[in-house]
């Protein structure tokens, strides 16, 4: 038995590793998505002590991520669905490098995440506990580890003393959560992580002292100006991409548009921003190659939360349109080239700003009710015609194979309106939006960026954040492979986070070929193809079956699709991940010729019933 004095010391003192973990938990971090290494001796020990002492509730739950890209994507998915920042732990420079494009997604998507990485020990002669004792400690000594991610994070700092380690966790999370939200990156040498400090070191640690910056309102004269412009417009239009990051902003936008008779276009939507079934929803823009007449006709355009409201080389508002940009990030401070010819750029929280503008439209009394009703009627007719056109495409191909439109329609019917849908369907992004008809806030998510593979990990995070909802990922075959499916599916099984993954198997990467054809419409690519096909064929669902015990099926006949989806969903509801690969036509039809192998016999993939 230990003497009482030592026990009292042990209660008062703690390692910095334990303090860091407790600070995360105090700050509301429920999960630490972690890939461990020799820099985490203190962390491994702190978790073991907590398990031994029955104190695990004081620390974030440890979720092992066999690949760092997947771990960070899981933290991202959790935060996107719940609105709550989570944390990721990675191994020195190597683990930081492996975060890879997930840092880009978290940054461009403005998603709050705390990333903590060890640093190689800073002593080598036995001076301090935690000093160098393994060969890798020399190999992992880099001059500027934070430089790996500096271009993407909002805050990068080294914990130099254990005495204020907790304070720095709270500060990093406050930075990550304050709008525009994003990743924060902390590093600490192993000696610091092993340091023993008095409990309570680091000042006031409670989250009450570290709330994110409060939402910002529009200056009153700017709210007045936008309200007057919308009320006096003949054809007001709202363009948005990520307003739905805040579900409250969706309701605020709906109210304003109904009041002013304004239509809404979603451009590159990575969130559900405006109900797809609303009569003022006027469709979607992606890398649109021709002029959208609705955008050309608008005389007042409110860009409310968008990085790419249109592609100016091919599609833009008329030169006479009065444009307003309202955003938490109105001039895109992380982009080197960005311009929208706006009359006013305003930094504001979108829900707050839209409510202000709505109130001012009412108070100014400048609306002509008959005019508003007439234009809302015209827009509703546009909406209806658009939806009828889309609905007509929701059928199998003439030869009984599956079209992307039919696939999305079948998924929509199978999963219902309450599912959480993640989209990484790439050349089928527009098809997913047009046919999913997402009409509830928080029902559709994209990566927010462009680094492929996000959905694999994000689905795990999304399910942990919303255990009672069905999570469905709609992904390209290339994107599925980018998502390190063995890691992601293993995590889904281990942590009880099953979801349905539907792969748009168009047999390779269509997007780079489409890009080449956009620049070289009659070049060699058009004649002989882009060479981005995936032959020899990969058993995509088989990867998930092997790594995560997933239910796996491959479908190429439209008639078998509804049953296949319902079988897969039944498995997911029973707690087992499911992956269905569905053959869809290549987005770019391959030119006939000797450069293209004959199509693979679908019979080889083992059709599901």
Ligand X SMILES: Cc1ncc(C[n+]2csc(CCOP(=O)(O)OP(=O)(O)O)c2C)c(N)n1
Which chain residues interact with ligand X by CB under 6 A? Answer: 101, 426-428, 450-452, 476-479, 482, 506, 509-512, 587
* Rounded CA separation 223/256 (Å): 13
Rounded to the nearest whole angstrom, what is the least distance from the CB of residue 432 to Mg ion in the complex? 13
By beta-carbon proximity to Mg ion, the closer residue of 245 and 583 is 583
Residue 482's binding partner out of ligand X, Mg ion, none, with CB under 5 to 8 Å set by partner kind: ligand X
Residue 43's binding partner out of Mg ion, ligand X, none, with CB under 5 to 8 Å set by partner kind: none
Rounded to the nearest whole angstrom, what is the least distance from the CB of residue 60 to ligand X in the complex? 28
Residue 580's binding partner out of ligand X, Mg ion, none, with CB under 5 to 8 Å set by partner kind: none
Burial of 56 (0-12, 13-18, 19+ CB in 10 A): middle
By beta-carbon proximity to Mg ion, the closer residue of 187 and 540 is 540
Token reading at 609: 């019933």
Rounded to the nearest whole angstrom, what is the least distance from the CB of residue 547 to ligand X in the complex? 19
By beta-carbon proximity to Mg ion, the closer residue of 60 and 476 is 476
Token reading at 242: 């990520």
Q: What is the widest separation between alpha-carbon atoms in the chain?
A: 86
DSSP state, residue 547: H
Residues of this chain, 86-145, that bind Mg ion according to CB under 5 A: none
Rounded to the nearest whole angstrom, what is the least distance from the CB of residue 523 to ligand X in the complex? 19
Length of the chain: 609
For the window 466-505, what string marks contact with Mg ion as x by the rule CB under 5 A? ----------xxx---------------------------
By beta-carbon proximity to ligand X, the closer residue of 283 and 483 is 483
Determine if the peptide bond prior to 335 is cis (ω within 30°).
no
Within 8 A by CB and 6+ apart from 273, the residues are 240, 241, 242, 243, 244, 250, 253, 264, 266, 305
By beta-carbon proximity to ligand X, the closer residue of 50 and 500 is 500
Rounded to the nearest whole angstrom, what is the least distance from the CB of residue 505 to Mg ion in the complex? 7
By beta-carbon proximity to ligand X, the closer residue of 251 and 514 is 514
The answer to whether 424 and 475 are in contact (CB under 8 A) is: yes
Side-chain half-sphere of 173: how many Cα atoms within 13 Å?
A: 27
The answer to whether 407 and 504 are in contact (CB under 8 A) is: yes
By beta-carbon proximity to ligand X, the closer residue of 248 and 538 is 538
* Rounded CA separation 476/504 (Å): 5
Rounded to the nearest whole angstrom, what is the least distance from the CB of residue 103 to ligand X in the complex? 11
Burial of 92 (0-12, 13-18, 19+ CB in 10 A): buried
Coil, strand, or helix at residue 271? Answer: strand
* Rounded CA separation 411/414 (Å): 5
Within 8 A by CB and 6+ apart from 432, the residues are 408, 421, 423, 425, 474
DSSP per residue over 579-592, as a string?
EEEEE---SSPPPS
By beta-carbon proximity to ligand X, the closer residue of 17 and 447 is 447
By beta-carbon proximity to Mg ion, the closer residue of 73 and 506 is 506
Rounded to the nearest whole angstrom, what is the least distance from the CB of residue 550 to Mg ion in the complex? 20
Rounded to the nearest whole angstrom, what is the least distance from the CB of residue 264 to ligand X in the complex? 26
By beta-carbon proximity to Mg ion, the closer residue of 352 and 506 is 506
Closest-CB residue for ligand X? 476
Residue 509 φ/ψ, nearest 5 degrees: -95, 105
Coil, strand, or helix at residue 189? Answer: strand
Token reading at 411: 């998924």
Residue 427's binding partner out of Mg ion, ligand X, none, with CB under 5 to 8 Å set by partner kind: ligand X
Rounded to the nearest whole angstrom, what is the least distance from the CB of residue 285 to ligand X in the complex? 18
How far apart, in Å, do the first and last CA atoms of the chain sit? 65
Rounded to the nearest whole angstrom, what is the least distance from the CB of residue 452 to ligand X in the complex? 4
Task: Find tokens 């669902």 and name the residue.
Answer: 541
Residues paired with residue 266 on neighbouring β-strands, in sequence order: 240, 284
Token reading at 402: 């599956």
Rounded to the nearest whole angstrom, what is the least distance from the CB of residue 501 to ligand X in the complex? 12
By beta-carbon proximity to Mg ion, the closer residue of 405 and 477 is 477
By beta-carbon proximity to Mg ion, the closer residue of 231 and 404 is 404
Task: Confirm or reject binding of residue 506 to Mg ion (CB under 5 A).
Answer: yes
Rounded to the nearest whole angstrom, what is the least distance from the CB of residue 510 to Mg ion in the complex? 5
Burial of 548 (0-12, 13-18, 19+ CB in 10 A): buried
Rounded to the nearest whole angstrom, what is the least distance from the CB of residue 6 to ligand X in the complex? 52
Coil, strand, or helix at residue 434? Answer: helix
DSSP state, residue 143: S
By beta-carbon proximity to Mg ion, the closer residue of 112 and 478 is 478
Which of 386, 381, 433 lies closest to 412 in space, CA to CA?
433
DSSP per residue over 369-397, as a string?
HHHHHHHHHHHHHHHHHHHHHHHHT-S--
DSSP state, residue 600: P
> Which residues of the shown chain bind Mg ion in the complex (CB under 5 A)?
476-478, 506
């Amino acid at each position: 038995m230990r003497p009482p004095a030592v026990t009292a010391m042990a209660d008062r003192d703690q390692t910095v590793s334990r303090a860091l973990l407790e600070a995360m938990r105090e700050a509301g971090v429920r999960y630490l998505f972690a890939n461990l290494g020799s820099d985490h001796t203190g962390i491994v020990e702190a978790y073991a002590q907590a398990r031994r002492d029955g104190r695990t509730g004081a620390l974030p739950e440890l979720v092992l991520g066999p690949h760092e890209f997947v771990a960070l994507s899981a933290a991202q998915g959790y935060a996107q669905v719940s609105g709550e920042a989570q944390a990721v732990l990675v191994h020195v420079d190597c683990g930081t490098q492996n975060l890879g494009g997930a840092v880009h997604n978290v940054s461009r998507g403005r998603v709050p995440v705390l990333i903590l990485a060890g640093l190689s020990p800073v002593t080598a002669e036995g001076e301090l506990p935690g000093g160098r004792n393994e060969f890798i400690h020399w190999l992992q000594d880099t001059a500027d580890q934070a430089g790996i991610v500096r271009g993407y994070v909002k805050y990068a700092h080294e914990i130099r003393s254990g005495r204020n380690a907790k304070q720095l966790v709270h500060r990093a999370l406050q930075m990550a959560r304050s709008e525009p939200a994003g990743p924060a990156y902390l590093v600490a040498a192993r000696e610091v992580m092993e340091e023993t400090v008095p409990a309570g070191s680091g000042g006031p640690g409670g989250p009450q002292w570290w709330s994110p910056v409060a939402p910002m309102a529009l200056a009153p004269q700017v709210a007045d100006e936008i309200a007057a412009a919308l009320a006096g417009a003949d054809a007001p239009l709202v363009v948005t991409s990520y307003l739905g990051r805040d579900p409250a902003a969706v309701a605020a936008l709906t109210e304003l548009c109904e009041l002013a008779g304004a239509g809404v276009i979603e451009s590159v939507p990575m969130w559900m921003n405006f109900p797809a079934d609303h009569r003022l929803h006027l469709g979607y823009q992606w890398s649109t190659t021709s002029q959208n007449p609705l955008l050309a006709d608008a005389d007042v355009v409110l860009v409310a939360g968008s990085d790419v409201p249109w592609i100016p080389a091919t599609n833009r508002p008329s030169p006479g349109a009065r444009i307003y940009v309202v955003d938490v990030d109105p001039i895109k401070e992380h982009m080197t080239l960005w311009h929208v010819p706006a009359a006013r750029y305003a930094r504001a929280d979108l829900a707050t700003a839209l409510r202000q503008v709505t109130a001012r439209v009412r108070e100014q009394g400048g609306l002509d009710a008959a005019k508003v009703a007439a234009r809302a009627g015209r827009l509703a007719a546009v909406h209806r015609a658009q939806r009828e056109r889309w609905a007509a495409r929701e059928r199998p191909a003439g030869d009984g194979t599956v079209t992307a439109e039919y696939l999305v329609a079948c998924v929509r019917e199978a999963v219902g309106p309450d599912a959480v849908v993640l989209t990484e369907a790439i050349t089928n992004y527009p098809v997913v939006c047009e046919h999913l008809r997402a009409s509830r806030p928080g029902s559709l998510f994209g990566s927010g960026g462009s680094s492929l593979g996000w959905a694999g990990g994000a689905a795990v995070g999304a399910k942990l954040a919303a255990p009672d909802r069905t999570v469905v990922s709609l992904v390209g075959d290339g994107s599925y492979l980018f998502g390190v499916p063995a890691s992601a599916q293993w995590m889904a099984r281990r942590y009880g986070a099953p979801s349905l993954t539907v792969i748009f198997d168009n047999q390779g990467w269509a997007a780079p070929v489409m890009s080449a054809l956009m620049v070289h419409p009659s070049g060699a690519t058009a004649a002989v193809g882009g060479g981005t096909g995936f032959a020899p064929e990969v058993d995509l669902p088989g990867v998930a079956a092997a790594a995560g015990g997933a239910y796996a099926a491959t479908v190429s006949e439209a008639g078998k699709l509804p049953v296949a989806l319902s079988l897969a969903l039944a498995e997911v509801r029973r707690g087992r991940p499911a992956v269905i690969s569905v053959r869809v036509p290549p987005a770019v039809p391959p030119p006939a010729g000797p450069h293209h192998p004959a199509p693979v016999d679908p019979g080889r993939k083992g059709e599901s019933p």
